[in-house]
Amino acid sequence: MNLRRVAFDHPDAGRLNDHVQREYAERFESDGDVTVLEPAMFEPPQGLYLIVYDDLGAPVATGGWRSQDENEEVYADGDAEIKRMYVVPQARRRGLARLVLAALEEDARAAGRTRMVLETGAKLPEAISLYLSSGYAPCAKVGPYRFHKESRCYAKPLTPASASPSSTSSTSSTTAASGPEAMTR
């Protein structure tokens, strides 16, 4: 597996985003996620967007983070919001979401962010399982879905790099460990 930094408007990112939007629409019986996302939101040092490619070069997983600071959607200064975590169905249960999550945390920490935060939904139990098993805890609801009954928000403090275990570089080829996969709106 190869984890690559890409622009949010990269064609492969667009295709994976279309896949996750269809899955959101099916699971939540809706039109998908209404959060407005712009490519500039994921440009370093204010964010990052990653795609995992399999050994044949096919995009199989994605995820990103964008900077958030205190605002009307109840984010706090120093937040790094996780967006568009997704693994295609045929590549699930291979640890790819955990791989992406670790790389996002490492990058946000290096960018000076102090907390990872995300919103997911009650109809995404595999996402909730991944985040809880990765040290995330329920937090006050944030974002555009904070008033929805099925919204679930989680956060994890980012410790300084010297105090945290080393994680996989976002530009290297790697083999992922097994574990649950996730989706984050």
pLDDT of residue 184: 57
pLDDT of residue 172: 39
pLDDT of residue 31: 83
pLDDT of residue 166: 43
Q: 2-163 adopts what CATH topology? A: Aminopeptidase (3.40.630)
Total-model pTM: 0.86
φ, ψ of residue 143 in degrees (nearest 5)? 85, -175
Closest CA to 99 of 50, 140, 57: 50
pLDDT of residue 161: 64
- CA 47 vs. chain centroid, Å, equals 11
pLDDT of residue 74: 87
pLDDT of residue 182: 53
Query: pLDDT under 70 in the chain at which residues?
Result: 161-185
Give me 130's structure tokens: 């991944």
The tally of CA atoms less than 13 A away on the side-chain side of residue 55 is 3
pLDDT of residue 34: 80
**Taking the CB of residue 9, how many other CB atoms lie within 10 A of it?**
14
